[in-house]
Amino acid sequence: MSDKIIEMKNVNKWFGDFQVLKDVNLEVQAKQKIVVCGPSGSGKSTLIRCINRLEEHQKGSIIVDGNQLTEDTKNIEKIRAEVGMVFQQFNLFPHLSILDNCTLAPIWVKKMPKKEAEDLAMKQLEQVQIADQSQKFPGQLSGGQQQRCAIARALCMKPKIMLFDEPTSALDPEMIKEVLDAMVNLAKGGMTMIVVTHEMGFAKEVADEVIFMDEGMIVEKAATKEFFANPKSDRTKLFLSQIL
């Protein structure tokens, strides 16, 4: 647990005049699980979207797996292929079957033979327990099933890092558990994970470190037990008192 896989230094980002990220410094070790929490509009999503450059940062440097994020598109595509992402709104491709959703990128980005890609996809779908739905289309599945498929789709690229952007926020309460279970399993398998979530139960169970963000800054970063038992800043205490 010593090699740095993500290193963010003095990252700043503006949307127009509004500064969303202010001097963010973050280091993530391989196989570390990090939960990012904070009130809405605090820049959590922007932070993790910067890691695979769905958003561009304007100042500072981000190094992912030894590669500096720059304008170079080929470099970005290479990094994106190594960083899986799961979105709040699932974002499955509605015109493709579940299986095709999972095999599309491995076949066309990684040039994997079709047969191999399908075997891998079925294995991943089994892991999240929706292998029996593989021939259906996303619109025919429940929200929880769709989100689990989205996790499987990202895993089919064999990523080194998984980013989760509020994966359970758009789900009905009874479906949250099935998605969290899939994420817990993934964490036990040793994946490097950065999870933006409000599910504090998940954070307590899985996370190595918890980061609390407010107004574009990292207010507090601490080991999980420490974070919940003994928060340092008043802002964190207030947030935790409201959410727990």
Please identify which residue in 91, 129, 142, 169 interacts with other proteins, judged by CB under 8 A. 91
**Residue number, 47 or 210, with CB nearest to other proteins:** 47
Alpha carbon distance 244, 234 (integer Å): 15
**Residue number, 145 or 236, with CB nearest to other proteins:** 145
Under the binding rule (CB under 8 A), the answer on residue 15 touching other proteins is: no
Instruction: Report in angstroms how near the CB of residue 176 gets to other proteins at its nearest.
Output: 20
Alpha carbon distance 67, 208 (integer Å): 24
Annotate each residue in 64-83 with x if it binds other proteins (CB under 8 A) or - if it does not, as one string: ---------x---xx-xxxx
Q: Which position has the token pair 């080929």?
A: 74
Burial of 115 (0-12, 13-18, 19+ CB in 10 A): exposed
> Please, are residues 214 and 235 in contact by the beta-carbon 8 Å criterion?
yes
Strand arrangement of the beta sheet that strand 217-223 belongs to: 83-86, 161-165, 192-196, 33-37, 209-214, 217-223
Please identify which residue in 44, 57, 148, 153 interacts with other proteins, judged by CB under 8 A. 153
Instruction: Report in angstroms how near the CB of residue 163 gets to other proteins at its nearest.
Output: 8
- The binding site for other proteins (CB under 8 A) comprises 52, 54, 73, 77-78, 80-85, 87, 89-95, 104-105, 108-110, 137-140, 150, 153-154, 157
